[in-house]
Structure 1
Amino acid sequence: MNNIIDRTIAFVQHTLANAESGHDWWHIQRVWNNTKLILQEEEADVLVCELTALLHDIADSKFHNGDETIGPRVAGEFLTQEGVDPTIVTHVQAIILNMSFKASLGVRTFHSKELEVVQDADRLDAIGAIGIARAFTYGGYKNREIYNPHIPVIENMDKESYKNTTAPTINHFYEKLLLLKDQMNTETAKRIATDRHVFMQQYLDQFYAEWQGVK
């Protein structure tokens, strides 16, 4: 197992060497660490979870013209080249295709305990202090406004609306980040998410106070 994990790490580090910093190797490493943390308390296939955590953003559709098939395809090609059991390859691909927040807004056609674990690990990296940093990093990358009080939050977005949004980054808190705590699958992730959720709420309170010129 260690050999395939080590080779996967090397592949991901090379492939994402110039990635946007919210979706780079360090994001992958944090999600991998979160996955291992969750697996200390949750029962799931460790190899499937770790491989998926390492490969889940190998070709994020956001950076490939919205192509949601490219990530599973690149991951599958790599794992097949490495001689990984085809059932594991298929499972990893299915999780990558179905684990994103965007995917959860559409029709869900796949589920497994391993998906629950890695999805939670990824979502934990989208909230709290790091989640805030990543949100503004991506907003800057897309040249979005930080905040515009004249642009309302859109509640209950569908998949296409979410994919095509150009709203300010603060809106993203309400359209995704603050929703994630209640969408965690595992009891382990639910506990971790609670404090991170509170931190984001406190951050927003401070943000609005400063925006309005309150001491």
Structure 2
Amino acid sequence: MSNYRIRPGDTLSGLAARFGTSVQKLARDNNISNPDLIFSGRTLRIGHSGRDSFDAGGRQGVRGGSGVGGGADVGGPMGVAPTGGTATGRRLAEAARAAAMGMGGYNSQGLCATGVSRAIRNSMGIGVSGNGNQIDNNLPRDKFRQVDMSLEDALKIPGLVLTWEATSTRLGSIYGHTAVTLGDGHSSASDFIERNTTNNGRTGFKVFMPIE
């Protein structure tokens, strides 16, 4: 077991996906009667689903973060992607990888929103329109919710939709960028596989999690 201090905007389902466990286990381990109601500032005891501690290797401690919220003491192994995530997220990540490999492979085609939209349609059966900095407003809120998470943490969870309002390229300054996390701690997919996804030169970062 490890401890995590709840931050504003946290949800039990979001924390479960982030730490590779389940809402039911978090609620049971912390005597939470209403999983939809948790309080900022309180401490949660967290362990992977099916075991009582983070024993996947790596070291524990404070992770840095380049996105919203910065570093946080999240307790789990560093540099190790969660074995969890949601089933919907895993399907979305697989569809995003397939879409990217069918479009640009490892080279950007300037069609990031097309790749992400194709992955969402193929894995969830819903259409989402818009370019990289519009798609966040067009994600159906009964299927996705925005979560407060650093890019570093988001990249460890498969199937999260990342959006940036603008990037440092000419087209990116107009249309932004969007991608789907692959859950390996560093890669994302859109119209291509970006093997080292960073916030460098990018602004207006947001994260959206599929709702099961």
Task: Specify the TM-score bucket, using the shorter chain as the normaliser.
Answer: under 0.3
Question: More helix per residue: 1 or 2?
Answer: 1
Rg bigger for which structure? 1
